[in-house]
């Protein structure tokens, strides 16, 4: 699992980083003493697990987590036991009280691994081709214990919602435990395009196109600067 450590205390940061490095099934992809820089990293990169200090200047660990549109698994770390109860309001995997020993660290990591494996089992498989020419007319979307067969032409847009993706159709909204990358892989690229870190839109349902946003069925959807050029190029060919 890909991990980062966020802690403004140098000793605690290095200790947690060493624990991650010595654990074979964890991959350390970043360490941050500045929570604002950690937030910027998480907005751009996919991470499975964050070891996150709570009491930090500028931005607390809980504020950082709250600011993320798609939240990774989190193990909170702190020297203050009074934060324990509140941490579980953020669906924390575990809560580690400093100083942290390796045995207690491993216990938290094992919880994260179990949760990570459960999420992988719950991911929907790509829908079977609708025709021998592989032009899909439908897709299967798994939501909890249900699987919905949805016409691609009915999907208006897809919105990131925490750890889920919301497929917004003409008649309903379907939540599925997917990442943005996985949702993009399921949708045909000639019909759908990413316009923002949290949105994918159907090119067939664009009502109004502006440089900073598009409108679909009365919904204004922002266009991120990173995705603008690619989107406008595809929209011109619709």
State mean pLDDT over 153-161: 93
State mean pLDDT over 176-181: 89
State mean pLDDT over 48-75: 89
**What is the predicted pLDDT for the residue at 84?**
52
Domain boundaries in the chain?
2-121, 138-235
pTM above 0.85, yes or no: no
Instruction: Give the lowest-confidence range in 105-119, 123-137, 153-167.
Output: 123-137
**What is the predicted pLDDT for the residue at 144?**
79
Q: What fold characterizes domain 2-121?
A: Rossmann fold (3.40.50)
What's the pLDDT tens digit per position in 5-47?
999 999 999 999 999 999 988 999 999 999 999 999 998 888 9
**What is the predicted pLDDT for the residue at 28?**
94
What's the pLDDT tens digit per position in 187-215?
998 899 999 999 999 999 999 999 899 99
**What is the predicted pLDDT for the residue at 134?**
34
State mean pLDDT over 153-175: 90
Looking at the DSSP bridge assignments, the partners of residue 176 are: 165
Residue 154, pLDDT > 60, answer yes
**Could you tell me how far CA 97 lies from the centroid of its own chain?**
26
Instruction: Give the lowest-confidence range in 81-90, 129-138, 141-150, 223-232.
Output: 129-138
Q: What fold characterizes domain 138-235?
A: OB fold (Dihydrolipoamide Acetyltransferase, E2P) (2.40.50)
**What is the predicted pLDDT for the residue at 131?**
33
Mean pLDDT of the chain: 86
**What is the predicted pLDDT for the residue at 70?**
84
* % of the chain surpassing 90 pLDDT: 53
pLDDT band at residue 57 using 50, 70 and 90 as cut-offs: confident
State mean pLDDT over 57-61: 87
pLDDT band at residue 135 using 50, 70 and 90 as cut-offs: very low
- The more confidently predicted of residues 86 and 159 is 159
Tell me which range, 156-170, 172-186, 190-204, is most confidently predicted by mean pLDDT: 190-204
């Amino acid at each position: 699992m890909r991990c980062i450590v966020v802690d403004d205390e140098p000793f605690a940061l290095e200790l947690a980083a060493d624990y991650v490095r010595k654990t074979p099934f964890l991959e350390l992809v970043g360490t941050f003493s500045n929570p604002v820089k950690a937030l910027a990293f998480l907005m751009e990169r996919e991470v499975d697990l964050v070891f996150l200090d709570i009491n930090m200047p500028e931005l607390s660990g809980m504020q950082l987590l709250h600011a993320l549109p798609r939240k990774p698994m989190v193990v909170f770390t702190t020297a203050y036991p009074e934060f324990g109860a509140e941490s579980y309001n953020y669906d924390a995997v575990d809560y580690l009280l400093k100083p942290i020993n390796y045995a207690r660290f491993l216990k938290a990591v094992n919880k994260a691994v179990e949760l990570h494996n459960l999420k992988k089992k719950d991911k929907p498989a790509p829908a079977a081709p609708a025709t021998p020419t592989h032009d899909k007319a439908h897709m299967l979307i798994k939501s909890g214990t249900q699987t919905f067969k949805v016409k691609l032409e009915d999907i208006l847009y897809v919105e990131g919602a925490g750890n889920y993706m919301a497929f917004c159709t003409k008649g309903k909204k379907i939540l599925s435990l997917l990442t943005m990358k996985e949702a993009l892989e399921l949708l045909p690229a000639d019909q759908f395009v990413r316009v923002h870190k949290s949105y994918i839109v159907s090119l067939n349902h664009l009502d109004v196109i502006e440089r900073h946003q598009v409108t679909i069925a009365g919904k204004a959807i922002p266009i991120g600067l990173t995705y603008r050029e690619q989107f406008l190029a595809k929209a011109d060919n619709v």
